Chain A
Amino acid sequence: MEWSIRLVASASIIVIFLILLFVMREAATLFVSASTTATESTSSSAPSGDLVPESYDPGAADAPSSSEPEVYNPDAEEPATAEPAGEPGAPGQFIYASKNPKYPEIYNPDTGLLPADIDDVESEAETPDTLARQNVLTKLAGDSWQPVGEVPKFGLAPLLIGTAKTTIIAILIGAPLGILAALYVAFFAKRRVREFVKPAIELLAGFPSVVIGFFCLVTVASFIQDLTGVQYRLNAVVGGIGLSLAVIPIVFSIAEDALSAVPKTLREASLALGSTEWQTAYRVMLPAAAPGVFAAVLLGIGRAFGETMIAIMATGNAPLSSLSPLEPARTVAATIGSEMGEVVWGSEHYGVLFFMGVILFVFSFSLNAVTELYVKKRLIKKFQGQ
């Protein structure tokens, strides 16, 4: 009996570890095997940026090769990289070519008018490993997210800003409401009210997030728009409210458990000193339950930035780098959720999505670690004496 429990427990830990390993391995293709990534992306039709400078290599221009005509012919070249499967003469090539009339002018090796960044890429092209690595890092550090554009941009900044915006709004709304509700149910509510309210809110924790997302999409968005007259119907505030609906039950449930676990005698002692119920709850019970309440808020944060469906439906899902809460936002989790289904396997985009998964994991892990090691101790010290 005991060995089976041990087996199941270690198996679940191993599974979690393997999932992490898998995510990290998929993300690592971005950084480690640069040459394979490059060839992979060539063969897998991804309109990868580093292909263009290779084709335009001026060295190749001096010594004409078989591929040269393609390189110099703007009509033929563009569809060749963007859509290698397409036959020459397909209507697509003309569209691609006409879309980029500037390319031949800029990259024309005969005139020598090469932009500086292209020069950089060329020099790195001699050592493909560093090329890919620097490329990826500068790409990830960019300020726009357009993964399926002709020149794909993988700047994470808008996504991180969007995640931070919605998470902060969700916690600012959800944590106080959840904690106050927990205080009410734990200390003020009559027994009959408590027996009804507690399971009702906890039921909300198991509420399908798609329903919450739909509710925000339809009702909350209209309400916020009527209230503020804001231009964008779906924005970070609506998304934050939606996420807070997911956060509140978690914060409530755990905070209520922590508050109820504080010995009743403590409450009696405080009341016997002539404090009101509220003073007792706020000044004695809440500090006594501080570690549990803090853990509740942390789990709420984890839920808020990991939540996918509400973020997809209610935030507007537009990767803007705006800090304004009344503009649309897109979270990291929502990006993975909405793009993973369509991404080309093994492509750069695919790697970036997994890399964001690693970011999510590392963030929640370090959040917990920092709390455990540092914040919790200080908090306990502050509220409960040294």
Chain B
Amino acid sequence: MAKDLPLKIEAHDFSFYYGAKQALHSITLGIPERRVTAFIGPSGCGKSTFLRSINRMNDLIDGTKTDGHMVVDGVDVYSKDIDVVTLRRRIGMVFQKSIPFPKSIYENITYGLTLNERPSKSDLDSIVESCLRRSALWDEVKDRLHHSALGLSGGQQQRLCIARAVAINPDILLMDEPCSALDPISTGKVEELITELKDTYTIVLVTHNMQQAARVSDFTGFFLMGSLIEFDRTRSIFTSPSKKETEDYITGRFG
């Protein structure tokens, strides 16, 4: 684990409860800035819960409770005086299922920008173009920007969601299994995109696909039963895991 890199997100003894059920057990880890960090592990191991705890999306579920600290940029996001809306503007999120708003492609991208201010039309136009270019979607949709986003293919929709998240210019991009519903070609495009974006953003990626974690991430954490088993550089995890559970998992012996 490289201690020299500046940390963007730190968890200290972070625990999470759905009602009485404890989903995360005292997670402690540091996610370095401008790197891709992947979380792997079997279904229900808590990796998505951890991801959604970073921007407090779990608040939407009734009866949840946290313990310990989740620190983003030196501030505990669960402290009382934090404004969740501002926090979420700094942390973009891409979901497992692509969920474009039932609006036009253009409006999907500008949605986050027009929430609190009214940028000029030309500003919006240029942001829309640059975001769509970054997400490698521009050439495919430039002629139908004002058509419904629901008419795009699954892969295009997911890239649109990434473009939408990038448009508000966050520091951190959380991705919750962004490729699980995509075909290999679309997956390849999204992975290229991730590699490209990591110069600008701190990316946290949850994935079931271990090849994907190996391909795109710099650091990998392995979750099992709500505990973080191992967290290290991706290369060390995949070549010389220090824990037996990790080795069993990545060699496909269970999970």
Contacts and interface: CB of A to CB of B under 8 A. Distances in A.
Interface string B83-111: 00110111111010101011111010001
Nearest to B102: A384
B85 A275 contact: yes
A283 B115 CA distance: 9
Nearest to A289: B102
A383 interface: yes
Contact of A273 (B107, B147, B148, B164): B164
Contacts of A271: 57, 60, 88
Nearest to A273: B112
Contacts of A270: 101, 111
Contacts of A191: 62
Contacts of A268: 57, 60, 95, 99
**Chain A interface mostly:** helix
A272 interface: yes
Contact of B150 (A274, A279, A287, A384): A384
B99 A273 contact: no
Interface residues of B, number: 33
Contacts of B112: 273-275
Interface string B52-86: 00010100101000000000000000000000011
A273 B103 contact: no
**Chain B interface mostly:** mixed
A284 B104 contact: no
A277 to B, nearest CB: 9
A383 B85 contact: no
Contacts of A267: 60
Nearest to A191: B62
B101 A284 contact: yes
Contact of B111 (A273, A288, A384): A273
Contacts of A274: 85-86, 88-90, 112, 115, 168
A386 interface: yes
A158 to B, nearest CB: 44
A287 B148 CA distance: 13
Among all A-B residue pairs, the 8 with the closest Cβ atoms: A274-B89, A385-B104, A385-B148, A272-B93, A384-B102, A273-B112, A274-B88, A269-B99
19 contacts: A265-B99, A268-B57, A269-B93, A271-B60, A271-B88, A272-B55, A272-B57, A273-B89, A273-B112, A274-B86, A275-B115, A284-B101, A383-B102, A384-B148, A385-B102, A385-B103, A385-B105, A385-B146, A386-B147
Interface of B: 55, 57, 60, 62, 85-86, 88-93, 95, 97, 99, 101-105, 107, 111-112, 115, 146-150, 161, 164-165, 168
